[in-house]
């Protein structure tokens, strides 16, 4: 085989999460009462904008979760296959060009020359101090005025055109699907999308997709010639770093909740349902954990983990595995500090549910505890779980950046928004300023978190029974489908 | 009331004990003091003698939980657990790695932390409440809509960007205030303005939106309809009824945070070079000073427990229906 598949710990959990989501989708599809709130989610314009952007991030992150070790070129001494110690991902393959094209040091976005002056030797033997040409950025560009602008325009227009074509194909595909399922013509389906008459807010999806197709097209076209977002101190492409950071952010945002969910569910429901000493014990545990400020508990735990990792180097064969285990541990410890909120909510809801007639009736019929919990209580608290999972996501992504700054976040060798911001801090003090790393991290992070917030709001508006009176906009949107179906 | 407070303080003891046990387990059971010594000394200088000396300097050379060489009370007292964990109840935190007394350091650093955190807290609260009430007043109009949009965007931006951006624009570009540093006395305001303003901005989005939700929840209630039927103006309803009734959910989140003003903002302080407790903690984490981190964990949970108590007391002030017993 030309490669050896590597599945890191967090990869396993990501696959598990994908499986869980797939199962949930299949389960919800068949049940009308579960589909109803989701229908409200997909009708919400802001929610669908968020979901579309999130989907782009998720695809990037998922490609970065498929890891392997490439095979080394066979040497004469050895006949057995040997694999590189470097763990690559499918995303790395796709970004092969910008991953390997390293410059010497800083260069501005789309630059053709290095950021700092160096002594260059001219062909005639004399030496001058000037900004040297980049090894890869605009390397094929002739040394004349205006060539740079022309080349940029050329690539930009071409990329935008390609992006638009891809978007048109996508839009046609969606229209065809709608026409197929609705039994109408393609033209009618197209009208339906733009008049907002369909069940899903496709208009929002397509407009978002258009923006990202055009931007993506331009970026791809430019990346063939230039470093679109510049290079960092060691000359690595900043665009590559930001794309790699997406996985870290997503892993922290999702796996943390996946890890803490079983505990929060089990303990929260147990505390509310059984009451008495069980309730007292669980409340004591979460009050105690809660009373330690989160950052300090995380810092203490990560410091101790560092000591452990330093003491046991034999457990980690490659650097990627060590960084990965640290990431997983960070998820776990973030989960430990953040499960208490959900646990308290679940306890309160279970307390309320337990007094309802149908559960009292189930008791009277002699139904066992575990059956009452799994059949009557669990399905009725799931909306709380869902809301808190999506609401928690953006907070966790932001927390990662802060923790990495404090020095208790992900492994320094791992790409993440936090490490990028942390490095950018020193670059800001340079004169002239190196702003592009920070700007790139800022743009990507704000896009991700904003999308997550928009989607989370749509989910909360659709699922929370109290929201009608709190959010006038959500209430307005909710009235629409009822009027339509009547 | 007094009896209630005393009982609550007694309740706090098992919680603090639990915190102590957790930190003790984290710092001494997951890794032995030997491991810590090896890490701090670095690979080159590790010899059995050096480890012993390191442990002795810091008082880690005793048995962890039970000392069978001593007799009587000494079996419990002459241990790491008693020395390092239980003594914190008497505010004896021991010495940091640089030899300074931690308790004294904490007392000294409280002032700068408060100087930044207190103005940020009260100015922020005033702004968030005003805006939240304003959005609730203009509910379901474009003012409200774009206000909420602004809040969502603001809360999607990491606080570190506010700090870096603020430092760059106000401190470096416009040269209005020093970028970082601190000085005692009246002159301190120049160093306080920027971090405090950024602290206010940092939690503007989330807080304003939350308060707006609380106000809207109250506005949907029956007593508001009654007040309108009586002919009260909308402004009077908002200030006299809605604000008062929404105070309970607002206080739940706000009062708990008051004790934490002592610690100040961890990130803000370290970015702005303010010699407060927040930057003390960050420095300790970076230099892996375990004694300081342990002390700050204890102080933090102490403040949290105090915050819970304050919250309960504040309820009685705003809601006559709540009686503490």
Mean pLDDT in residue range B231-244: 89
Of residues B129 and A297, the one with the higher pLDDT is B129
- The minimum CA-CA distance between B256 and chain A, rounded to whole Å, is 11
Reduced 3-state DSSP string for chain A:
CCEEEECCHHHHHHHHHHHHHHHHHHHHHCCHHHHHHHHHHHHCHHHHHHHHHHHHHHHHHHHCCCEEEEECCCCCCCCCCCECCCCEEHHHHHCHHHHHCCCCCCECCCCCECCCCEEEECCCCCEEEECCECCCCCCCCCCCCCHHHHHHHHHHHHHHHHHHHHHHHHHHHHHHHHHHHHCCCHHHHHHHHHHCCCCCCHHHHHHHHHHHHHHHHHHHHHHCCCCCCCECCCCCEHHHHHHHHHHHHHHHHHHHHHHHHHHHHHHHHHHHHHCHHHHHHHHHHHHHHHHCCHHHHHHHHHHHHHHHHHHCHHHCCCHHHHHHHHHHHHHHHHHHHHHHHHHHHHHHHHHHHHCCHHHHHHHHCCCCHHHHHHHHHHHHHHHHHHHHHHHHHHHHHHHHHHHHHHCCCCCCCCCCHHHHHHHHHHHHCCCCCCCHHHHHHHHHHHHHHHHHHHHHHHHHHHHCCCHHHHCHHHHHHHHHHHHHHC
| ipTM value | 0.86
Contacts of A285 in chain B (CB under 8 A): 18
Over residues A385-416, the pLDDT tens digits come to 998 888 889 989 998 888 888 888 888 888 89
Region of poorest pLDDT, from A280-289, B46-55, B224-233: B46-55
Residue A445, φ and ψ in degrees, nearest 5: -70, -45
The residue among B19, B152, B160 with the most chain A CBs within 10 A of its CB, best to mutate, is: B160
Please, what is the average pLDDT of chain B? 84
**Domain B107-324 part of CATH 1.10.3720.10:** yes
Q: Looking at the complex, report in whole angstroms how far the Cα of residue A302 sits from the nearest Cα belonging to chain B.
A: 10
Contact B158 A401 (CB under 8 A): yes
Verify whether the Cβ–Cβ distance A402 to B160 is below 8 Å. Answer: yes
pLDDT at A446: 93
Smallest CA–CA separation between B72 and chain A, in Å?
Answer: 31
Query: Distance, in angstroms, between A270 CA and closest chain B CA?
Result: 21
What pLDDT is attached to residue B324?
Answer: 66
> Which chain B residues contact residue A443 at CB under 8 A?
none
When the pLDDT of each residue in chain A is averaged and rounded to a whole number, the result is 85
Task: Give residue A480's pLDDT.
Answer: 40
Q: What pLDDT is attached to residue A456? A: 92
Residues of B in contact with A290 (CB under 8 A): 304
Using an 8 Å Cβ cutoff, are A39 and A61 in contact?
Answer: no
Could you tell me which chain A residue has the CA closest to the CA of B21? A288
| pLDDT of A170 | 93
The residue of A281, A307, A341, A439 whose CB has the most chain B CBs within 10 angstroms, and thus the best one to mutate to test that interface, is A307
Nearest by CB to residue A293, choosing from B161, B290, B300, is: B300
Yes or no, beta carbons of B144 and A472 under 8 Å apart: yes
Residues from chain B that touch A387, judged by Cβ atoms under 8 A, are: none
Residue B25 has pLDDT above 50, yes or no: yes
CB A174 within 8 A of CB A206: yes
How close, in Å, is residue B71 to chain A by CA atoms? 32
Q: Structure pTM?
A: 0.89
Range with the lowest mean pLDDT among A63-72, A281-290, B56-65, B180-189? Answer: B56-65
pLDDT, residue A470, reads 53
Q: What is the pLDDT of residue A474?
A: 53
Domain ranges of chain B: 2-90, 107-324
Among chain A residues, CA nearest to B139: A472
Could you say which of A292, A394, A471 has the minimum Cβ distance to residue B156? A394
pLDDT digits (tens, 9 = 90+) for B298-309: 888 888 888 888
Average pLDDT over residues B234-262: 86
Which residues of chain B have a CB within 8 Å of the CB of A310?
38-39
Q: Is the pLDDT of residue B9 over 60?
A: yes
Q: Residues of A with CB below 8 A from B297's CB?
A: 292-293, 296-297, 300
Closest residue of B to A288, CA-based?
B15
* Residues of chain A under the 70 pLDDT cut: 1, 74-79, 197, 466-486
Q: What percent of chain B has pLDDT over 70?
A: 96
Distance in Å, alpha carbon of A162 to nearest chain B alpha carbon: 31
Task: Please indicate whether, in this complex, the C-beta atoms of A308 and B267 are within 8 angstroms of each other.
Answer: no
- Which residues of chain B are within 8 Å of residue A449 when distances are taken between CB atoms? 156-158
């Amino acid at each position: 085989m030309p490669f050896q598949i590597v599945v890191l710990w967090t990869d396993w959990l990501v696959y598990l999460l994908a499986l869980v989501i797939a199962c949930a989708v299949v389960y919800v599809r068949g049940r009308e009462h579960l589909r109803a709130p989701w229908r409200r989610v997909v009708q919400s314009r802001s929610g669908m904008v968020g979901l579309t952007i999130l989907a782009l991030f998720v695809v990037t992150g998922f490609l970065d979760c498929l890891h392997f070790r490439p095979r080394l070129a066979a040497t004469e001494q050895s006949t057995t296959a040997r694999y590189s110690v470097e763990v690559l991902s499918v995303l790395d393959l796709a970004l092969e060009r910008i991953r390997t094209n390293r410059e010497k040091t800083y260069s501005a976005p789309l630059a053709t020359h290095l950021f700092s002056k160096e002594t260059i030797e001219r062909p005639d033997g004399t030496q001058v101090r000037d900004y040297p040409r980049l090894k890869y950025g605009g390397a094929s560009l002739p040394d004349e005025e205006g060539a740079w602008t022309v080349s940029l325009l050329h690539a930009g227009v071409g990329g935008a055109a390609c992006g638009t074509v891809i978007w048109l194909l996508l839009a046609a595909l969606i229209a065809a699907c709608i026409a197929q399922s609705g039994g109408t013509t393609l033209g009618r389906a197209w009208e339906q999308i733009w008049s907002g008459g369909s069940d899903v807010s496709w208009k929002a999806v397509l407009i978002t997709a258009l923006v990202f197709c055009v931007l993506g097209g331009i970026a791809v076209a430019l990346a063939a010639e230039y470093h679109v977002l510049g290079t960092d101190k060691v000359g690595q492409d900043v665009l590559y770093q930001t794309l790699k950071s997406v996985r870290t952010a997503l892993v922290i945002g999702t796996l943390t909740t996946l890890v803490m969910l079983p505990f929060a569910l089990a303990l929260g429901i147990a505390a509310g349902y059984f009451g008495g000493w069980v309730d007292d014990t669980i409340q004591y545990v979460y009050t105690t954990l809660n009373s330690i400020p989160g950052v300090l508990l995380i810092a203490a735990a990560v410091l101790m983990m560092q000591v452990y990792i330093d003491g046991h180097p034999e457990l980690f064969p490659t650097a990627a595995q060590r960084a990965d285990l640290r990431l997983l541990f960070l998820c776990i410890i973030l989960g430990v500090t953040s499960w208490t909120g959900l646990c308290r909510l679940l306890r309160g809801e279970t307390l309320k549910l337990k007094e309802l007639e149908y559960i009292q009736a189930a008791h009277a019929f002699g139904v066992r505890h575990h059956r009452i919990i799994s059949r009557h209580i669990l399905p009725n608290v799931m909306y709380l779980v869902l809301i808190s999972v999506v609401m928690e996501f953006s907070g966790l992504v932001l927390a990662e950046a802060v923790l990495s700054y404090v020095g208790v976040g992900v492994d320094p060798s791992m790409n993440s928004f936090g490490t990028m911001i942390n490095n950018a801090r020193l670059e800001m003090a340079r004169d002239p300023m190196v702003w592009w790393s920070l700007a790139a991290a800022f743009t990507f992070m704000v896009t991700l978190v904003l999308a997550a917030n928009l989607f989370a709001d749509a989910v909360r508006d659709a699922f929370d029974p109290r929201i009608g009176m709190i959010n006038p906009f959500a209430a307005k949107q909710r009235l629409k489908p009822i009027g339509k179906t009547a | 009331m007094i009896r209630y407070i005393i009982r609550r303080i007694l309740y706090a003891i098992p919680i603090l004990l639990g915190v102590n046990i957790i930190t003790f387990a984290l710092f001494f059971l997951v890794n032995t003091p030997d491991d810590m010594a090896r890490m701090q000394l670095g690979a080159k200088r590790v010899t059995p003698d050096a480890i012993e000396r390191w442990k002795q300097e810091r008082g880690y050379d005793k048995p962890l939980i039970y000392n069978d060489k001593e007799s009587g009370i000494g079996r419990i007292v002459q241990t790491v657990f008693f020395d390092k964990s239980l003594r914190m109840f008497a505010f004896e935190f021991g010495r940091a790695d640089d030899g300074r007394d931690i308790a004294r350091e904490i007392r000294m650093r409280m002032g700068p932390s408060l100087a930044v955190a207190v103005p940020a807290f009260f100015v922020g609260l005033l702004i968030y409440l005003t805006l939240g009430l304003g959005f609730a007043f203009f509910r379901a109009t474009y003012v409200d809509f774009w206000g909420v949009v602004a809040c969502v965007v603001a809360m999607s931006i990491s606080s570190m960007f506010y700090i870096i951006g603020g430092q760059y624009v106000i401190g470096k570009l416009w040269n209005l205030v020093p970028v970082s540093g601190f000085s005692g006395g009246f002159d301190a305001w120049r160093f306080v303005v920027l971090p405090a303003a950024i602290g206010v901005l940092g939690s503007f989005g989330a807080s304003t939106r939350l308060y707006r939700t609380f106000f809207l929840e109250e506005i949907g209630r029956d007593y508001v309809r009654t007040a309108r039927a009586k002919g009260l103006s909308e402004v009077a309803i908002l200030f006299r009824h809605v604000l008062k009734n929404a105070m309970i959910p607002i206080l739940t989140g706000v009062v708990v945070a008051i004790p934490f003003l002592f610690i100040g903002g961890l990130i803000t302080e370290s970015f702005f070079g303010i010699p407060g407790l927040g930057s003390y903690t960050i420095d300790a984490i970076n230099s892996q000073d375990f004694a300081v981190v342990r002390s700050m964990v204890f102080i933090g949970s102490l403040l949290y427990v105090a915050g819970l108590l304050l919250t309960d007391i504040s309820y009685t002030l705003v809601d006559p229906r709540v009686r503490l017993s």
